[in-house]
Amino acid sequence: MPSSGPKVVVTVRSFDDAALALLRDRGCAVEVAALPPGKGDGDLDQDQLCRLLAGACGWIVGHARVTRPLLQSLPDLRIIARRGVGYERVDVQAARDLGRVVAIAAGGNDASVADHAVGLMIAVGRRFRESQDNMVKGDWTILTGGELYRKTVGLVGLGRIGKSVVRRLSGFDVRVLVHTPNPDEAYARDTGVEYVGLPDLLVASDYVSLHAPLTPETRFLIDAAALASMKRGAILINTARGGLVEDAHLLAALRAGHLGGAGLDVFISESDPAYWSVTQGLLAHPAVVATPHAGASTREGFERTNRIAAASVVAVLDGGDPPPGCCVADGRVA
Residues of the domain holding 245: 110-290
Nearest to residue 236, comparing CAs of 272, 268, 223? 223
| Residue 194 sits in the same domain as residue 320 | no
Per the rule left: phi > 0, alpha: psi between -120 and 50, beta: everything else, 293 is left
| Residue 23 sits in the same domain as residue 65 | yes
Report percent pLDDT > 70 for the chain: 99
Give the pLDDT band (50/70/90) at residue 302.
very high
The b-or-e profile of 257-294 (16+ CB within 10 A means b, else e) is eebbbbbbbbbbbbbeeebeebbebbeebebbbbbebe
Has residue 324 got a pLDDT over 60?
Answer: yes
Q: Are 225 and 198 in contact (CB under 8 A)?
A: no
Q: What is the pLDDT of residue 1?
A: 44
Task: Over range 315-325, report the average pLDDT.
Answer: 96
Decide if 41 is inside a domain: yes
| Residue 153 sits in the same domain as residue 281 | yes
| Residue 165 sits in the same domain as residue 281 | yes
Decide if 173 is inside a domain: yes
Number of structural domains (the chain) is 2
Task: Over range 104-124, report the average pLDDT.
Answer: 97
| Residue 162 sits in the same domain as residue 203 | yes
| Residue 254 sits in the same domain as residue 210 | yes
| Residue 48 sits in the same domain as residue 160 | no
Q: What is the pLDDT of residue 334?
A: 57
The per-residue pLDDT for range 133-188, each reduced to its tens digit, is 999 999 999 999 999 999 999 999 999 999 999 999 999 999 999 999 999 999 99
| Residue 225 sits in the same domain as residue 263 | yes
Decide if 1 is inside a domain: no
Decide if 2 is inside a domain: no
Per the rule left: phi > 0, alpha: psi between -120 and 50, beta: everything else, 194 is beta
Which residues are catalytic, by number? 241, 270, 293
